[in-house]
Structure 1
């Protein structure tokens, strides 16, 4: 199960590179930047062994132990990001490739050579057309929640079954479903009265059940994602949705259509910031699309931050992911919840030092509860 989790619980990397190197080459500007981070995390687990994708249980939260320590990535992996931009005729054009890698493994001698080419796309557009993007990139649905999460540059839920060989989870599975990376053709509209629209045709994906056998497959219909956003003077508000048809992989398994939506708002006023996001629907999944099959579930995530000085930001965030009913795909899991308190200190314009404390609880439909307490100390450099 652990190897399957490592392949599914991928943290995204959508932060802009901090003062990356620009190289002029003819009509092109080539930008090279990246991210490196590492955190000392320690967790301890107690209570019942809840089934399914129970992030607070010993099996997932502590990697099968009562307690565990890892020095590895937080919610972001390490990454090398390159892009090339140019103005050609009436169009701004861009090509972008992002290559990512994990810090921690279970071996001191095995090669640590697995890489994740998570982003590879090109785009073109102008003020009247908007922007058209073709290639592989993060999805539209859920990006505001995870990009706005303070633990994006920290660890959040330091889930040991995913941090070794991959990353921590932030509030993935305990507040929002992972944004996902897809092959796609997407369009972002020009901004009109502070409103933009994003629409994408996305390559359809199979279910990723993790703790059960695969039950669904895709056929010819693409996944569709869309979002409307208002943004002005520190305030953002958005409505989003995505849908895809899943087909039963075996006789006796009914087809179903994933249909999920989200609504959220964020506000930044001086030193204070607030973010609230809600997701719900059929096939939403805990970590990824339909990973529990035809199950209705809900995610909600709230966060408050405050900059006490120019260098120090304090914050607290809480998220919960909850299934509406017990079904085959849930394996008895009712909910995951995580609360994280963090301090983020800007040592300079490149390095941020981080300290977090958190607790993750998983509850079963039969009343059992598993709990993971943990903390993370480390830092991240953006270059």
Structure 2
């Protein structure tokens, strides 16, 4: 599977438009070149308590980049990216390769991003309709993949967290609705597609979380999807053992369940993740705490070119001391206008709240205006 083109197709499905990569022939190889470029003017304003610990997205430290308010012109949830693909068929085997190189728009100075390269994908695949497909290399994870691809803010900004948008991207609903799907070195196997059923299992290169390390065994992820008239449903899972000093290690375990349906102009979706050690932004970053992530979304295709959307997400942790993070929530309303089949203009307003285990909340108001082009 070409994950980047799948991502582009799924992203553009939120606006109803399509993009076309350049396809070339080089001997027995078909070469495809495509990409994404986007930029958003974002402004955040932070208020409320600044004593919320952990990854509190609405705090001044993260949401407003250390100030009461921050203006950034940078990427939304997607980076700028150039993707090259190659595919051929040899001896009855379909072979493919993908390399994606990305870059960020904004930085804290006028020099840093001149050499800041974001390489998320570099993998090859082989297989056919009978044997299924094997993938080797670096690619996005499976857990959380369907949630983020279906998030309307994928082509916008969602929570325009300034601390991440400067030098990288905004967060959409990462940390406030789902944990980031991540990019991993991996060995994955996808079963042959049967009707509307697809399933993939993967061994991921284990990752570290602070002083905790993934040392002796790989991370395991799996995702199954079934499509039906007007929608689809999915089930995912992931697990990894983290080792740490003084018996601080633990095993991360998570399950994910979601569904989306379309009825005429109306689109509805829901995604639930639950487990231990999932992390707010990434695997294990909140330690051995139980966590629930929930994302709810409704969109309306108002006209052939205009889509309206509203989504709400929450990432909630159990246990912890008074100042520890209890939850991040984000509510985003968006308007997505297809100027052409390749260019989408976006306007979003959002409200992010970070709650501690006890005490007052931190709040961040955000606005994002800009656009994205797929080619």
Task: Please give the range of the TM-score, normalised by the shorter of the 2 chains.
Answer: over 0.9
What is the correspondence of 1:302-313 to structure 2 with a 5 Å cutoff?
Answer: 302-313=296-307
The answer to whether the 8 Å contact 1:239/1:264 transfers is yes
Partner of 1:230: 226
Secondary structure of 1:151's counterpart equals helix
Deviation track 1:227-252 (CA, whole Å, cap 9, x = no partner) reads 2211123311011110011111x2x2
- For 2:353 and 2:173, the matched residues in 1 are separated by 12
Q: Which residue of the partner structure matches residue 262 of structure 2?
A: 268
- Cα deviation for residue 131 of structure 1 reads 1.2
2:107–2:113 contact (8 Å) kept in structure 1: no
Alignment of 1:360-375 (within 5 A): 360-375=352-367
Q: Is residue 348 of structure 2 the alignment partner of residue 356 of structure 1? A: yes
RMSD over aligned Cα atoms: 1.6
d(CA) in 1 for partners of 2:358 and 2:76?
32
Q: Residues 110 and 363 (structure 1 numbering): CA distance in 2 closer, same or farther, change over 3 Å?
A: closer
- Look up the SS of the partner of 1:15 in the other structure: helix
TM norm structure 1? 0.92
Q: Which residue pairs with 2:13 in the alignment? A: none
C-alpha displacement of 1:380: 0.2
Q: Equivalent of 1:279, from 273, 280, 284?
A: 273
Q: Which residue pairs with 2:83 in the alignment? A: 81
Aligned to 2:7: 14
Q: SS at 2:199's partner residue?
A: strand
Q: Distance in 1 between matches of 2:64 and 2:115?
A: 25
TM-aligned CA deviation for residue 292 of structure 1: 1.1
Query: What does residue range 179-194 of structure 1 map to in structure 2 within 5 Å?
Result: 179-194=181-196
What's the CA shift for 1:367? 2.2
Q: Decide which moves more: 18-27 or 155-164.
A: 18-27
Residues 1:62 and 2:64 aligned together? yes
- The alignment status of 1:103 with 2:105, answered yes or no, reads yes
Q: Secondary structure at the match of 2:108?
A: coil
Q: What is the CA-CA distance between 1:193 and the residue it aligns to?
A: 4.1
Moved more, 254-263 or 147-156: 254-263
Give the Cα separation in 2 of the matches to 1:88 and 1:367.
63
Q: Which residue of 2 aligns with 1:159?
A: 161
- The equivalent of 1:146 in structure 2 is 148
Q: Does 1:298 align with 2:292?
A: yes
The counterpart of 1:339, out of the listed 331, 343, 356, is 331
Instruction: Map 1:88-127 to 2 at 5 A.
Output: 88-110=90-112, 112-127=114-129
- Cα distance in 1 for residues equivalent to 2:283 and 2:48: 29
SS at match of 1:216: coil
Taking structure 2 as the reference length, what is the TM-score of the superposition? 0.94
Q: Which residue of 2 aligns with 1:211?
A: none
Contact 2:323 2:357 in 1 (8 A): no
Task: Say if 1:109 and 1:90 are closer, same or farther in 2 by CA, change over 3 A.
Answer: closer
Q: Deviations over 1:119-143 (max 9, x none)?
A: 0000011111111111000001110
* Correspondence for 1:38: 39
Is the Cα–Cα contact under 8 Å of residues 206 and 218 in structure 2 kept in the other structure?
yes
Contact 1:215 1:253 in 2 (8 A): no
Distance 2:8 2:343 in 1: 14
Q: Compute the displacement of 1:14 (Å).
A: 3.0
Aligned equivalents of 2:144 and 2:230: distance in 1?
Answer: 19
SS of 2:247's equivalent?
coil
Query: 1:215, CA displacement in angstroms?
Result: 2.7
1:289 corresponds in structure 2 to: 283
Q: Within 2, Cα distance between the matches of 1:269 and 1:199?
A: 31
Paired residue total: 362
CA distance, structure 2, for counterparts of residue 145 and residue 111 of structure 1: 29
Matched residue SS, 1:112: helix
